[in-house]
Structure 1
């Protein structure tokens, strides 16, 4: 089997049905081979940032490792933001990057570069294949490593001439791997600690959603009667948003996390990557004296940023199931705690709902009303792909999604991810409506992804929250008492004038676009996406603040 044939054979065997890419000269052997093959399908993007984002959304929705094809040093550089997001969000992905012809690499030809050096900081691993006979083995290793906890992107640099070699290479068989078992004695000790707590709390990390362990975590929380918080800036649904025990998301500041967790005497932290604060505040995230049980698939997470009483690694769903079994019927006060917490959380949710509904009106919309309108209009079983920095926080407060993988975000923070991720999500799961909620600044970074949505007729609705500013920067200055905030003047934080015309942007790429004239119109436009047969862009004008205009 020739090297290029081996590449495609391994991709198929690893479950790859689509390759996301933007081709160049070094990818011509691959493109030529795909032209004569029934599969996989090649999904074209106009920019590598959109390409990697599509693969990110596709891998999460399909629960399979995705595959990306990038072009030499420039293509890898353009895709780095997406790789950083995928690494932070632990998305399994194999990136095959075409390198220049080895026969003149010594001459520093155009487009060549250190692909491995470029990608190393943004991937789990980056390697360049030197011999055609090594290609199949390196690819097998890449797919295995990408999926192994902690999952993430792996880059393989493949010189163009290597793929064109006319030699016979062997394809190693795929090696299925079973996860480690559950440590029964450690689970027993952990259960005893949690059962004895008077004020237990649970922190649901994104590892829970990735592992399909939401049901098991619910059983643990109900056995304890414990309040449950999502990790800061969670990437998915790791605990049902409508559950009476759900207390919301921890804000990404150590001081706030510490104050919140300080109300409790024992904590179960499940599948959570070290809390990852955003804005600096002094001190640790965990208060002194808090007894912690930490469970994670990645052994490196246990005790990484804070001491724990009991750490359990291995299969997350199995560990939580064993913990729930140990706790069942063991905490007499669990029901009373749950009823009290349910009443507290219901009152808080009702107050949030009332405030948002009271802000409804014509555009420019109050951000609370805009967020609520999207949540209220969502069709049943819809998936929300969110990349709206400030409005996104308001949206989290009113979403009540219970089904796992109904909410998709990237904690990586590299802007421009949302449009491509939404396209990839819908391609992987075409039965569920997809609504992408985007900040105008975020959307500008990934605008080219709209073209792929139009080309492949992907029925995604893109809601662009247009406030004409980088509001999160202004809010941060306001909170910190910046002098520019006191003067009402901000440098480099306004996107108008001239105003961005999002309807024109949609039409440029072949996407139908409308503008919401009120919160009610936005709600109704989102509700209509259940019958969509193509992409739609909804511009939602949001009231700006702190601009001095």
Structure 2
């Protein structure tokens, strides 16, 4: 079997149905071979940033490892922001970067470079393939590494002449790896849960990734525990309408500490620490609280804060076993649940009232705008969210219950949302809605090319305030009152609001700008049942001046 044939055999056996790429000369042997492998589709993107973002969304929608083909050093560099996002969000991905022909690498040919060195900080593992007989083995290792906890992208540097070699190579069989089971020490953790008077659970994205939401709900109900989402969560890890749900923790350790104060036991499930965004000297865990931490990654428990019991194992089976061990041993769980429900239901009512009170003409109040959006969403939608300030507001008014209904990246590399939404739509039959900030949209506009060319059914909602509002908010928080002048440098996109309907038209995507919030609700309700894309340019008010 030739190296190129072995490559396609491995892809097929690993469940790859689509290749996301932007090609160059070093990928020509691979592109040529695609002619003889029509069952594997090449999804062309016009920029590597949107290519990797599409692969990210597709991997999460399908539950399979995505495969990406990038072009030498320049193409890899363009894709690095997406690889950083995938690493932070634990998205399994195998990425090949075509290297120049080995026979003239000493001459420092155009676009060549240290691909492994360039990628190392952004990916989980790298391989520099130099021999044809190594390629099938390395591919098997890459797919295994991409899914092993912590999951993430893996890079292979492959010279173009290696793929063109007429050499026989062996194809190793695919290994079947058993999933992680119940963590050791689960009995000790169960005793701590039973003895706790006021337990709290922090639901991390490992819960959503392992499809363990139902198991976590059962455990929370069995112990009567309040449940928070981890800060800036990427998925639905606990139902938003559940009476025990208390919302998302803020991405600041001092605020996390404040939210968790009063609880005597903190159970952190599948969360990579607390992802603090801004520094505060306060630790996230309140003094005196006991801590249980569960994660499939052995490096996680005790990594950033001390734990009383660190559990390493599968989230789904371990949580299910904990539920078995604690059920019926806590007499007052129904009273606990009712007390939590009363405390948290007011939060939804207050947000709804505040949003309705803010309704008015354009530019719209952002809380009112996301409230109007939520009113038009269908029951079975998937929201891809990259809206920064508006995204936080959306989580205040929208109760997401169904697993896999939210796609977000805690990585924070801007420009991900459009491509991720297109990739999500390619991997699901559910309606896909992308909530985007205008700054994020500017970073990832090239992804609209795929939506327009292939008529991918995504409703793109651009929250257009003409500024980097989150940076103005943050700057004001750091300024003293005496220096809050309302003057900012480098934080406004333009003196006049950008017209994203023109950008959409350029890429062949229909677009509309609503004139009132009732129209916005109606537009979304219709668009999410449309067979093609739509961009909605939503003018919203910016940062309040001083």
Partners of 2:473 and 2:543 within 8 A in 1 = no
Distance change in 2, residues 1:221/1:318 (3 Å): same
Partners of 1:203 and 1:231 within 8 A in 2 = yes
Distance change in 2, residues 1:326/1:421 (3 Å): same
1:434-469 CA-to-partner distances (Å, cap 9, x unmatched) read 000000000110100000111121100000000000
In structure 2, distance between residues paired with 1:157 and 1:224: 50
Gaps of 5+ in 2: none
Partners of 1:494 and 1:547 within 8 A in 2 = no
In structure 2, distance between residues paired with 1:221 and 1:122: 36
Partners of 1:221 and 1:228 within 8 A in 2 = yes
Q: Within the alignment, does 1:451 sit opposite 2:449 as a pair?
A: yes
In structure 2, distance between residues paired with 1:338 and 1:271: 23
1:292-351 CA-to-partner distances (Å, cap 9, x unmatched) read 111111111011111111111111100000001111111111100101111111111111
In structure 1, distance between residues paired with 2:372 and 2:257: 33
In structure 1, distance between residues paired with 2:180 and 2:497: 55
1:95-129 CA-to-partner distances (Å, cap 9, x unmatched) read 01100010000010001000000100000011110
In structure 2, distance between residues paired with 1:302 and 1:488: 43
Distance change in 2, residues 1:484/1:510 (3 Å): farther
In the alignment, what sits opposite 1:132?
132
In the alignment, what sits opposite 2:397?
398
In the alignment, what sits opposite 2:539?
541
Q: Tell me the secondary structure at the aligned position of residue 149 of structure 1.
A: coil
Summarize the alignment of residues 243-392 of structure 1 with structure 2, pairs less than 5 Å apart. 243-392=242-391
In the alignment, what sits opposite 2:473?
475
Q: Tell me the secondary structure at the aligned position of residue 122 of structure 1.
A: coil
Gaps of 5+ in 1: none
Q: 2:438 aligns with which of 412, 437, 440?
A: 440
1:484-516 CA-to-partner distances (Å, cap 9, x unmatched) read 962221100001224311000000001000001
Q: CA deviation at 1:482?
A: 5.7
Distance change in 2, residues 1:182/1:394 (3 Å): same
In structure 2, distance between residues paired with 1:220 and 1:13: 37
In structure 1, distance between residues paired with 2:529 and 2:509: 16
User: Could you tell which deviates more after superposition, 27-36 or 249-258?
Assistant: 27-36
Partners of 1:490 and 1:547 within 8 A in 2 = no
Partners of 2:464 and 2:538 within 8 A in 1 = yes
Q: CA deviation at 1:288?
A: 1.7
Partners of 1:477 and 1:485 within 8 A in 2 = no
Q: CA deviation at 1:183?
A: 4.1
TM-score normalised to the size of structure 2?
A: 0.98
Partners of 2:183 and 2:314 within 8 A in 1 = no
Alignment size in residue pairs = 546
In structure 2, distance between residues paired with 1:395 and 1:230: 15
Summarize the alignment of residues 202-241 of structure 1 with structure 2, pairs less than 5 Å apart. 202-241=201-240
In structure 1, distance between residues paired with 2:398 and 2:170: 51
In the alignment, what sits opposite 1:40?
40
Distance change in 2, residues 1:351/1:331 (3 Å): same
In the alignment, what sits opposite 1:9?
9
Q: Tell me the secondary structure at the aligned position of residue 300 of structure 1.
A: coil
In the alignment, what sits opposite 1:68?
68
Partners of 2:425 and 2:431 within 8 A in 1 = yes
Instruction: Compute the RMSD of aligned alpha carbons.
Output: 1.2
Q: CA deviation at 1:546?
A: 4.0
User: Could you tell which deviates more after superposition, 355-364 or 155-164?
Assistant: 355-364
1:462-481 CA-to-partner distances (Å, cap 9, x unmatched) read 00000000001100011112
Partners of 2:295 and 2:301 within 8 A in 1 = yes
TM-score normalised to the size of structure 1?
A: 0.98
Q: Within the alignment, does 1:98 sit opposite 2:98 as a pair?
A: yes
